[in-house]
Structure 1
Amino acid sequence: MSLRLRATPELVTEAWLKTVVGDRVATTLPKDNSSWAASGFCTLVVAGGSPNLYVPLREPVIGVDCWANSPSSQKPPWNIAAALAEAIQAACYDHPGIPQTVTLPAGYPAAQIKSAYTTGEPRRIPDDPSSYARYSIPGLAIAWVEVPS
């Protein structure tokens, strides 16, 4: 018996964020920081939320960190990290752009995004030991359902 692959909060959020910031999002930062020095990068982690009790509607709350680095300077490029966070906030206000269907990796069903909103303002996280600029969105709530296959 083989298990059917199911959409997960991480996969769905990553797919939606890619529609906002491009291919600059994952659950971890790339090891090679020069690969994202010019554009910044977003990481995500499930922070909470709960699935609906009666219907297959999921609404995880995701912590999103927006990162930027400047390999040639010890001064963090705050404007790049802030611009990523603000792009995510603006996408939450793009009500005609949501709902939308996002494609997940091969073998996974697509997911229909029903709504997206933040639960707090992005905040600057100072004093990163690596001199990275980091803005943290404390909660990005994304309501979604799997698209039947």
Structure 2
Amino acid sequence: MATVLRATTELVAATWLNTLFDQPIVATTLPKPADGTPVWADTGFITVAVVGGGAGMYVPLRSPVVSVDCWAVNPQSAKPPWGKANNLAETVQAACYGPINMRLELPGGFPDVRALSAYSVSESRRITDDQSSYAHYSLDVQLHWVEAS
């Protein structure tokens, strides 16, 4: 029996959020620095994780809540670049106003999906006391999506 790939919320969230930026800066994990300097130091980075929500009982509509964590670092300073991380969070917040209604091509042979809407369900908040001097903001977004037909 062949394995059937199914879209996942983390793939949908990362793919949609990557459409908001000039280059791919969204994934499920923060890339580890190879030589001590994160490759994302110039752009910042966003990680996503499912934290709640649900799926339709009678229709294939998914409505998960996703934690969106925005990261920034200044390799030349121990002072976290709060403004850069906050700007990423505010970009995500601004994208949550109005319907999205776009087809997203997921990577790796996963089926395409239609992202219908996204709503911010929390204010972005500063996460302090990071030992690595990363600036970190977090907000929660509820997505509504279906597999495309």
Match of 2:76 in 1: 72
Q: Which has the higher helix share?
A: 1
**Mean Cα displacement is larger for which, 127-136 or 16-25?**
16-25
> 1:35-73 deviations in whole A, cap 9, x for unaligned?
111110000111011100000000110001000001110
User: Which consecutive unaligned segments of at least 5 residues does structure 2 have?
Assistant: none
Question: Identity of paired residues, percent?
Answer: 52
SS at match of 1:66: strand
Residue 121 of structure 1, aligned match among 100, 123, 134: 123
Within 2, Cα distance between the matches of 1:10 and 1:25? 10
Q: Does 1:145 align with 2:116?
A: no
Q: Shift of the alpha carbon at 1:105?
A: 1.1
Moved >2 Å (runs of 4+): none
Q: Does 1:43 align with 2:47?
A: yes
TM-score (norm 1): 0.94
TM-score (norm 2): 0.94
Aligned residues: 145
> 1:98-132 deviations in whole A, cap 9, x for unaligned?
11111101321111011101101000011111100
Match of 1:29 in 2: 30
SS at match of 2:70: strand
Within 1, Cα distance between the matches of 2:108 and 2:124? 32
Match of 2:62 in 1: 58
Q: Shift of the alpha carbon at 1:34?
A: 2.7
Match of 1:101 in 2: 103
